[in-house]
Amino acid sequence: MELRHLRYLVATVDAGTVTAAAEQLHVAQPGVSAQLRQLERELGETLLERGPRAVVPTEAGRAVLPHARAALAAVEAARDAVAGLRGLLRGRVSVGMASSLPDTVLADPVGDFAAAHPAVEVTLREGTTDELVDELRAGRVDLAVIGLPGALPDGLTGHRLIEAELVAAVAADDELAGRSELTLPELVRRPVICLPRGHGLRTALDTAVAAQGLTARVRFESGSMSLLLRLAARGAGIAVVPAPALQAAAVRALDRPPVALPLRPAVRTRLHLVWRAGGPGGPAARALLEQLLER
């Protein structure tokens, strides 16, 4: 068994197809397939089920994957340790960000870090809170900025960045615009515009509404906060967003920006910088974490 066998296995599972893995690895697709078959012959088990559209790990494959990832991580750690002795920060760091967040949340610090450490391969991945939590636990993401209404998920630790109250955004000419607040029973009587399920903000809303024995009628879903507010400004429904979202330049530039009404009872969500318990594994990820916490 050689490291490239394990690298090809992990890449194929993560990419979903042998072809996609070959592209990422910059090798020919037949070569990847041959190495995977060789690994399966050596172990005496089929590791991947090859479907018409994607490959998925078999039970044996799922058993091998954690060891394959650990072996590859150990090799990277050894290389990073030697580089550290030379005073050179190298390695890889993968950062996750909830797709609903403004670009400015991570663009500047991650961009500055990448520019200062050209030997570090920095990647950025967007997704929902649920997706990024899974990526963190699987070790495919080192750090992430996500929205969470409650406690941090098991196996993760983090630093709370902000806590924001959710508001109902209504069109300026809506009959509700002159109100000082909006109750949850009043909210669910109207079409709701919100983030898709899996986002921390949506979880906070669904939990608060369910606690009242109610269900929101979500008409429009989007990961773009500005799109949600544009729809609300046109009277397509009531957008539920964090209060600071209405201060964004794109929203203020609208001819008639929506009006924000506090929800009652209050609904809040929190923005966290999170990582696996025990800290990120590589020196590059630890250095980026330290820089983000300083900011």
Contact indicator for 268, 164 with CB cutoff of 8 Å? yes
131-156 per-position pLDDT tens digit = 999 999 888 899 999 998 888 988 89
Tell me, what's the pLDDT at 80? 66
> Does position 83 have pLDDT exceeding 90, yes or no?
no
- Kindly report which listed range (85-89, 104-108, 170-174, 243-247) carries the lowest average pLDDT score: 85-89
* Mean pLDDT across 182-206: 94
Amino acid letter, 254: L
For residue 226, give Cα distances in angstroms to 44, 88, 92, 259, 260: 53, 41, 32, 14, 14
Q: What is the Cα–Cα distance from 23 to 25, expressed in whole angstroms? A: 5
Q: Dihedral of the CA atoms 232, 238, 243, 248 (nearest 10)?
A: -10
Q: Please check the confidence at residue 86 and state whether its pLDDT lies above 60.
A: no
Q: Domains of the chain, with CATH numbers?
A: 1-87 (1.10.10.10), 162-270 (3.40.190.10)
Assign 3-class secondary structure to 24-41.
HHCCCHHHHHHHHHHHHH
* Residue 172: partners with Cβ closer than 8 Å, 6 or more residues away: 233, 256, 257, 258, 259
> Is a pLDDT exceeding 90 seen at residue 239?
yes
Q: What is the mean predicted confidence (pLDDT) over 214-240?
A: 93
Q: What's the pLDDT tens digit per position in 36-66?
A: 888 888 989 888 888 777 888 889 988 988 8
Residue 103, pLDDT > 80, answer no
pLDDT (0 to 100) of residue 263: 96
Is residue 234 very low, low, confident or very high in pLDDT (cuts 50, 70, 90)?
very high
pLDDT top residue among 74 and 148: 148
